[in-house]
Amino acid sequence: MSEYKTLYLSTKDSVAVALSEIPENTSVVVKTGLEELAISILEPIRFGHKFAVKSIEQGADIIKYGEVIGAASTFIPAGAHVHVHNLEGKRGRGDKIAE
């Protein structure tokens, strides 16, 4: 298993951040505290971009650094790139009323 740098701060998190370019079909290990997860990366992840550390159901909250950053607009499998194509922000939207 290759060593790629990632940032994964909380066991609550559903995503980690790539601190280096990670090619597709690569296995990475994300660690926080005593938890260590092996993730198979499904597509290239660019530096600074997020990837799912567990499957995220459509409509479920996406959690980064222990905080909700949005909701999944579609099902996101573990190892997939998480970005504007599958994440809908919940903050600062003028066109939707917060629930």
Nearest to 16 by CA among 80, 59, 74: 80
pLDDT of residue 34: 84
Residue 93 resides in a domain: no
Coil, strand or helix: which one is 69? strand
How many folded domains does the chain comprise? Answer: 1
pLDDT of residue 18: 97
Q: Specify the pTM.
A: 0.87
Q: How far, in Å, CA of 74 to CA of 54, rounded?
A: 14
Residue 99 resides in a domain: no
pLDDT of residue 3: 81
Q: How far, in Å, CA of 90 to CA of 99, rounded?
A: 10
Domain that includes residue 51, residue range: 6-88
pLDDT of residue 2: 57
Residue 96 resides in a domain: no
Residue 27 resides in a domain: yes
Q: How far, in Å, CA of 65 to CA of 87, rounded?
A: 16
Coil, strand or helix: which one is 10? coil
Residue 16 resides in a domain: yes
pLDDT of residue 61: 96
**10-residue block means of pLDDT along the chain (99 residues)?**
84 95 96 90 97 97 94 97 91 56
**Where residue 11 sits, what CATH number does that domain have?**
2.30.130.110
